[in-house]
Amino acid sequence: MKKIITILGARPQFIKSKPLSDALRHHKRIKEVIVHTGQHYDFCMYRVFLRELNLPKPKYFLGINRGDNTSQVWRMLKKLSGVIERENPDLVLVYGDTNSTLAGALAAKQKGIALAHIEAGMRSFDLKMPEELNRVITDRLADLLFVPVREGMTNLKNEGRKKGVFLVGDVLCDVLLTYKDRIKKIFFPLKGRLGIKQQKYCFLTLHRQDSVDNRSNLELLLKNIAQIKTKIIFAVHPRTTKMVRRFGLARYLKGNITCIPPLSYLEAISLIQHARLVLTDSGGAQREAYILKTPCITLRNETEWRQTLDNGWNRLVRLDPLHLSQLAVIAERENAIGAHSNIFGNGKAAIKILHILENFMLK
């Protein structure tokens, strides 16, 4: 029996892991051991995610969720090294671009274990972003690179990577297509609870370090978001709540803005699907909006998902006074949406990844 250690730490990684974990759960020749670093951890929300998506329970919980990026990675690396020694896997699998991703990649290669990276090849080309550093280093170390979109293949080719590179599609697309019918039903109780109508509201999320940890950026964002006349449903991340209080910016969260606590995954997806517009700084929400054919405005200086910008489905509004001053106008006017293509694949990414893993591990 071959063994894979899958390292997860952020809520989106658990979501993206579901299709492949489901495929591995009853595999006769490959066993998956899941490690939760604890990077993003809220006990109540964690139980909701496990139950709602029927996710397998991690075998290890490391409880590392405080400190700056460097200290987080160092502590994760130390504990993951111990787990790898104990489990002696044939391969370590990581997702995305978090500190957990980088720590898992370093721990695997320092122990001489093969490394696979799901969501490889994506680039914002801004090395000041911690996520960009995590992506670039992990891709450099990985033996198997599972790429979600064609742009990622181009990026890796330009970096000289040819061996072990596979265009498989996005596992997030697998998840959305699996739950597409269910999220339609979830909207009916939500719209009554929130007092909204289909395509008559904007859905807002903010959580990234650049957006909320910088007082001037957060105030600039909230001040201009408050100018949008359409009703806004703001699912407020715990980190954002803390910084709004610390900076004394609650005065902007009134009028058209309805603040709600974090939602379950399927509730959030349902609100994205039925919104007129998504406003976000999240990489995942950009893709979810695109796959569900909901126009999106990305509140960041750059995006690694540049193909979503084609044909107007996603618009980039940078975090500076000039660009954000135009936000209300951009959000209120009719979106000139062009052609829509399946850039994230057909919902079969996990099956493709499994077949490649089988060829790699069982040959």
Judge residue 48's burial from the number of C-beta atoms within 10 Å of its C-beta, 0-12 exposed, 13-18 middle, 19 or more buried.
middle
Residue 352 tokens, joined = 């493709």
Write the secondary structure of 261-282 as one string of H (helix), E (strand) and C (coil). Answer: CCCCHHHHHHHHHHCCEEEECC
Residue 6's DSSP bridge partners are 34, 93
In the set 40, 117, 207, 274, the catalytic residue is: 207
Gyration radius of the chain's alpha carbons = 20
Listed as own residue / partner, the contacts of 329-334 with beta carbons closer than 8 Å and 24 or more positions apart are 330/297, 331/202, 331/228, 331/230, 331/277, 331/279, 331/297, 332/228, 332/229, 332/230
Q: Quick one: which of 34, 15, 16 has its CA closest to 25?
A: 34
Q: At residue 294, what is the residue type?
A: T
> Would residue 96 be called left, alpha or beta, if left means φ above 0 and alpha means ψ between -120 and 50 degrees?
left
Q: For this structure, is 207 an active site residue?
A: yes
Task: Characterize the bridge pairing of strands 277-280 and 257-260.
Answer: unpaired
Residue 122 tokens, joined = 């994506």
Q: Where in the sequence numbering do the catalytic residues fall?
A: 207
